[in-house]
Structure 1
Amino acid sequence: MIRTSHRPLAMAALALGLLTLTACGTEKAGAGPGQSSPTTPASPTALSTSAAAARAAHDKAFPDVAARCKATKATAGTTGPEKPEPLPTDPEAAKFAENHAFKQQARLTPEARCRGEAHAQRIQKALTGPGTTPPANEAALTAALTKLGYGPDNGTVQRVGNALGFSYSVPGIGPCVTGYLGTPTSIEAHGPYVEGGCTEPRGGH
């Protein structure tokens, strides 16, 4: 008697079952019918809501800055940014300007300028005002800025020559504040660099 073996059929069925399970396991969570994929870009409404929440958090943490720039907010959209300066006509000067274009900063709206300058003055008064002792090292400067509401996650502290320096993004609203505690002290507000961040990029072409 010749017996027919069912082993190949069983193995084929097992392989098909494993393939089906594997395919199911690769489906992304939340990507089913009627559900958006995790990589779906946020809608303009969601971004606007997030920006409003960040602004509200900033105003709650820094009520003096919010009050100072409240009037500026109403006219923030009426004044456009200044026109970029044309490249020099001299070939060498034009090449120099082109090679240093990466150091350009984004322009601030009137509201952002007001808030940035208010933060710069707030920091300068706290660090170098009458009756204060300026921080002596990087750790002391970091601690002083953190106490003022500018945590390490928002910027960097470094020593530039004999002076302490810092570059921070104001929490929630974004203008940069960069300072050097030298003689004299210089603390100013500015837009982020075109390559990103508040710290001046190094290098060039």
Structure 2
Amino acid sequence: MTNHGKKTAGLWTLPFAVVLLLAAGCGTQRAGAAPGASLSSGPTPVGTPVAAPSAPADFPCPGESSAPPAPTAATGSGPDASPPDHYAENHAFRIPLRLHGQSRCDGLAAEGRVKGALEPLRRRGDFTPGHVHGALTGLGYPAGKVRTYQNGPTGVGFLIDIGASPWCVEGMLNSGSTTAEAFGGYPDGTGCEPPRGGH
């Protein structure tokens, strides 16, 4: 009986040794490191730049007089930076996503069409949500995707859900101006409606 126990132990020893041998050679190269660099060189030092995902390329759109503005760098980085603003950090989910590339150009074109359709109402002093809704649906936007609302005695706000993953135009018509801004929804995926909640 003693021999049977030794045979079983011997059968498990060989596969276990092979697994250990193979595992010893795995994982010795750090991701992004040059071939031959090993994990034994220690952790990445603090402050070492890490490759960031590439930002979508923006280019001048038709009718733009200059190149698009460069994205602003996040504040609060660097050795002498003050602590981050936690209110802004906790409410970042309410900041609309910017459009980039061809979507940005399409958004600028939509902004121009919306302003052009609403400007005659502004000049006439017609600040009725129903008339603003009619002007926007007259551009071909589905009635169910256009929301208008009264904003003070001489102001009408609007929100258009273009419906392209999402793609939205929001703005205001009042006695002083007509504004429109295209954006790509919100980070939490609620579409064109501003998300509710927060900290």
TM-score of Structure 1 vs Structure 2, range by shorter chain: 0.5 to 0.7
Q: Which residue of 1 aligns with 2:37?
A: none
CA positional deviation for 1:100: 1.3
Q: Which residue of 1 aligns with 2:172?
A: 180
Query: Are 2:137 and 1:143 aligned?
Result: no
Higher helix share: 1
Query: Are 2:99 and 1:108 aligned?
Result: yes
Q: Which residue of 2 aligns with 1:153?
A: 144
Whether the aligned pair in 2 keeps the contact of 1:178 and 1:187 (CA below 8 Å) is yes
Q: Which residue of 1 aligns with 2:185?
A: 192
| Aligned partner letter, 1:176 | C
> Deviations for 1:11-41, whole angstroms, at most 9, x for unmatched residues?
xxxxxxxxxxxxxxxxxxxxxxxxxxxxxxx
CA RMSD of aligned residues (A): 3.3
Q: Which residue of 1 aligns with 2:156?
A: 164
CA positional deviation for 1:161: 3.0
CA positional deviation for 1:204: 2.9
Q: Secondary structure at the match of 2:192?
A: coil
- How many residues in Structure 1 have an aligned counterpart in Structure 2? 128
Whether the aligned pair in 2 keeps the contact of 1:155 and 1:198 (CA below 8 Å) is no
CA positional deviation for 1:135: 4.2
Considering Cα pairs closer than 8 Å and 6+ residues apart, tell me whether 1 or 2 has the greater RCO: 1
* Amino-acid identity (%): 32
> Deviations for 1:139-196, whole angstroms, at most 9, x for unmatched residues?
2221221111112222321223341011112255742111100222211111211232
Counterparts of 1:80-99 in structure 2, within 5 Å, are 82=71, 85-87=74-76, 89-91=81-83, 94-99=85-90
Q: Secondary structure at the match of 2:110?
A: helix
CA positional deviation for 1:123: 1.1
Q: Secondary structure at the match of 1:140?
A: helix
Whether the aligned pair in 2 keeps the contact of 1:100 and 1:204 (CA below 8 Å) is yes
Task: Report the Cα distance in structure 2 between the residues aligned to 1:155 and 1:86, rounded to whole angstroms.
Answer: 36
Q: Which of these residues, 95, 112, 118, is aligned with residue 127 of structure 1?
A: 118
Task: Report the Cα distance in structure 1 between the residues aligned to 2:125 and 2:101, rounded to whole angstroms.
Answer: 30
Q: Secondary structure at the match of 2:141?
A: coil
CA positional deviation for 1:131: 9.7
CA positional deviation for 1:125: 0.8
Whether the aligned pair in 2 keeps the contact of 1:127 and 1:135 (CA below 8 Å) is no
C-alpha spacing 1:144/1:138, structure 2 compared with 1 (3 Å): same
